[in-house]
């Protein structure tokens, strides 16, 4: 449910989650990006269908059309080959990868790159530059992967973690790009250097803008209680839940609220086997992973958007079609 609301760029200002005895209840207070209440009936209908529709079905095209805009959920397209790369963040790596893909006549249709704590993860969607469509020839896929592995290896030293994975599209399978990037960064262990603020006192915690994570035990109920305080931003709840899910924790109850620029999250969790976090090592790792999940998407640099316009010339050399590519 959080993923559906996040994909629609809605802001979750408050949320309550409860699951017990086979029943669950989830309440979300949402607004649009301008902080306004949702009044568009077509958008409300779309949300209802997206939340209630059977997982094997899709929201009707009529509901999507009634929004008067395209809902682009960040999933990997079944029409493109996906390339996943993880490793150390090094200058020039992405440029060399692009050059190799161009030489191998692979057209990039979309790409997303995350960097955090000197680690990097990228997902690049590409298609056959000669015939169009996905690259399905196993020999060509193996050759492309081999060339990319050589590029990535040249930017890494002995023993440094790195990986290159190239996959052809599989019908019926979807991969949420943001969800997958969290998994790649977690596997890349970008959380290891993370440290939260350990300043004592409620007053310090309420006035500090750094990330605070505390984990306590609720023995009478058999839960571990996780409290997270950080700056509020879009997709914060989604990113936090991704971290808990990747670490195989089950959320039974949760309360999330945002006030001003800060957000407070409280989760009652157990491991999938029903156990709580009893060791200091487990608590420390969860603290690091929650901080990493929150920091990954937070931008501390300026954003540059480049638009290139490609002009397709007709037979007589006259401009025929203008295509715009966004990076």
Q: For 13-30, how does the pLDDT look when each residue is reduced to its tens digit (9 = 90+)?
A: 999 999 877 788 999 999
Query: Which among 270, 296, 276 is positioned nearest to 211, based on CA atoms?
Result: 296
Looking at residue 319, its pLDDT comes to 46
Tell me how far apart the alpha carbons of residues 198 and 209 are, in angstroms, rounded to a whole number. Answer: 12
Instruction: Tell me the pLDDT tens digit for each residue of 280-296.
Output: 999 999 999 999 999 99
CA dist., res. 288 & res. 93, Å (int): 27
Q: Is the dihedral of CA 231, 236, 241, 247 positive or negative?
A: negative
pLDDT recorded at residue 133: 83
CA distance linking residue 59 with residue 65, whole number of Å: 11
Task: Domain 81-187: state its class.
Answer: alpha beta
80 vs 112 pLDDT, higher one: 112
Give the pLDDT of residue 122: 94
**Band of pLDDT at residue 310, cut at 50, 70 and 90:** very low
**pLDDT at residue 174 in the model:** 72
Three-state SS string over the chain comes to: CHHHHHHCCCEEEEEEEEEECCEEEEEEEEECCCCCCCCCHHHHHHHHHHHHCCCCCCCCHHHHHHCCCCCCCCECCCCCEEEEEEEECCCCHHHHHHHHHHHCCEEEEEEEEEEECCEEEEEEEEEECCCCCCCCCHHHHHHHHHHHHHHHHHCCCCCCCCEEEEECCCCCCCCEHHHHHHHHHHHCCCCCCCCCCCCCCHHHHHHCCCCEEEEEEECCCCEEEEEEEEECCCCHHHHHHHHHHHCCEEEEEEEEEEECCEEEEEEEEEECCCCCCCCHHHHHHHHHHHHHHHHHHCCCCCCCCCEEEEEEECCCCCEEEEEEEEC
With 70 as the cut, is the pLDDT of residue 173 above it?
no
Report domain extents, the chain: 2-24+192-297, 81-187
Q: What is the pLDDT of residue 242?
A: 96
Examine the pLDDT at 85 and tell me if it is beyond 70: yes
Q: Say if residues 267 and 226 touch (Cβ distance below 8 Å).
A: yes
The pTM (predicted TM-score) of the whole model is: 0.83
How much is the mean pLDDT over the chain?
84
Query: Is 133 in contact with 79 (CB distance < 8 Å)?
Result: yes
Q: Give the end-to-end CA distance of the chain in Å, rounded to a whole number.
A: 29
């Amino acid at each position: 449910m959080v993923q559906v609301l996040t994909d629609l760029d809605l802001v979750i200002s408050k949320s309550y989650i409860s699951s017990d005895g086979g029943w669950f209840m989830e309440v979300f207070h949402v607004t649009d990006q301008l902080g306004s209440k949702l009044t568009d009936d077509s958008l409300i209908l779309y949300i209802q269908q997206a939340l209630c529709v059977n997982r094997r079905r899709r929201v009707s095209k009529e509901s999507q059309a009634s929004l008067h805009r395209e809902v682009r959920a960040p999933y990997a397209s079944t029409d493109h080959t996906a390339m996943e790369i993880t490793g150390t963040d090094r200058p020039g790596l992405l440029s060399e990868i692009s050059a190799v893909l161009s030489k191998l006549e692979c057209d990039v249709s979309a790409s997303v790159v995350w960097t955090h704590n000197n680690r990097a993860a990228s997902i690049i969607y590409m298609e056959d530059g000669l015939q169009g469509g996905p690259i399905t020839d196993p020999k060509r896929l193996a050759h492309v992967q081999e060339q990319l592995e050589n590029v990535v290896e040249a930017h890494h030293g002995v023993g440094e973690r790195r990986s290159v994975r190239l996959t052809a599209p599989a019908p019926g399978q979807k991969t949420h790009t943001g969800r997958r990037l969290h998994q790649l960064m977690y596997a890349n262990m970008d959380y290891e250097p993370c440290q939260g603020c350990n300043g004592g006192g409620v007053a310090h915690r309420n006035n500090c803008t750094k990330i605070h994570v505390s984990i306590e035990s609720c023995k009478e109920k058999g839960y571990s209680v996780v409290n997270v305080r950080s700056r509020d931003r879009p997709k914060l709840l989604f990113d936090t839940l991704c971290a808990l899910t990747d670490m195989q924790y089950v959320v039974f109850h949760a309360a999330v609220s945002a006030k001003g620029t800060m957000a407070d999250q409280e989760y009652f969790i157990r491991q999938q086997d029903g156990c709580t976090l009893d060791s200091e090592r487990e608590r420390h790792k969860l603290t690091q992973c929650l901080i990493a999940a929150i920091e990954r998407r937070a931008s501390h640099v300026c954003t540059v958007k480049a638009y290139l316009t490609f002009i397709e010339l007709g037979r007589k050399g006259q401009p025929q079609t203008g295509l715009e590519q966004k990076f």
